[in-house]
Structure 1
Amino acid sequence: MLHEHKQTAPTQVSCAVITVSDTRNKETDKSGKLIKELLEKAGHHILNYEIVADERAAIQQAVRQAIEMGKVETVILNGGTGIAKRDVTIESAQPFLDKELPGFGELFRMLSYQLDIGSAAMLSRAIAGVANDRILFATPGSSGAVKLAMEKLILPELAHIVREIQKDLTS
């Protein structure tokens, strides 16, 4: 059954990429660039890319705009997912989620532990869920974390997830 689902999934997904950072700009945002490059290499479209400050109002405005854009099917945030006081991406994005996908965060932390940063993976609060009939991912901002999340979890299932979200929506 799963194989059939993947066969009927879209080949291209329209995406918004949001980097949460107080210090990065479009020239120095390695993680945002990496997300865009990996999405485009996989045949997906970037409809919106922006960098916002690690502040609740800025993050929520960017998420709200992205999930209300008519053609956006996927929103990927990176940065601001740690445990420092300024890390508010999770608290800012979570209220938009109609359904959470706890498996994403669980798998991300497991893979981070095994393949990347060892026990420091417990500090990651990466999440995913459905927001306004779009899939939303929030990953840490390091290039290693972004590469791992994109290559091992997001890209292999992105079209399948979008298909599942859209399969019973009426136009």
Structure 2
Amino acid sequence: MLEKHRKKSKTSINCKVITVSDTRTEETDKSGQLIKQLLIEQEHLIVDYVIVCDELKEIEAAITKAVNDSKVEAVILNGGTGIANRDVTIEVVQSLTKKEIPGFGEIFRMLSYQHDIGSAAILSRAFAGVTNKTVLFSIPGSSGAVRLAMNELILPEIGHIVMEINKDT
């Protein structure tokens, strides 16, 4: 049944990539560049790419602009997912989400524990949800976390998720 759904799924998704960082630039944003590269390798389209400071209003504005753009089907944020005082990405994403996809964060933490950072995985607040027919993924900003989330979860399911979001319309 799952393979049947995947065969019906779109193979090219319009994506916006948002890096949340107080210090990164386009030249130093290895994680944002990696997300874009992995998406392009799978023939997804990058509609927009921005770097915003770890400030609630800036993150909210970038996400709101994306979910109000009819061309954007998926938003992938990286950075600001930890537990430091400055890490507010998850609070913003959750406040804008209509439906949570809890399995994303659960499985990401399990995979992180098993294949990447061990018990430090409990510090991750990776999150996914849906709003305004757009899927939102929020992942840590390290290259290892990006590679893990993209290869194991996001890329295999992004087309299926977008199909499910739009099947009732």
The offset of 1:22, in angstroms, is 0.1
Q: How does 1:4-153 map to 2 (within 5 A)?
A: 4-153=4-153
The one-letter code matched in structure 1 to 2:114 is Q
Deviations 1:125-170 (A, max 9, x none): 000010111110000000000000000000001101110111112x
Q: Number of paired residues?
A: 169
The offset of 1:93, in angstroms, is 1.2
Corresponding residue SS for 1:51:
strand
The offset of 1:64, in angstroms, is 0.2
Overall identity of the aligned pairs, in %: 63
- Show the counterpart of 1:2: 2
The one-letter code matched in structure 2 to 1:109 is R
Corresponding residue SS for 2:116:
helix
The offset of 1:63, in angstroms, is 0.4
CA RMSD of the aligned region, Å? 0.5
The offset of 1:95, in angstroms, is 1.0
Distance 1:154 1:126 in 2: 12
Q: Any gaps of 5 or more consecutive residues in structure 2?
A: none
The one-letter code matched in structure 1 to 2:38 is L
Q: TM-score with structure 2 length normalisation?
A: 0.99
Distance 1:91 1:164 in 2: 25
Distance 2:131 2:78 in 1: 16
The offset of 1:11, in angstroms, is 1.1
The one-letter code matched in structure 1 to 2:51 is I
Q: Any gaps of 5 or more consecutive residues in structure 1?
A: none
Deviations 1:87-126 (A, max 9, x none): 0000111111110000000000000000000000000000
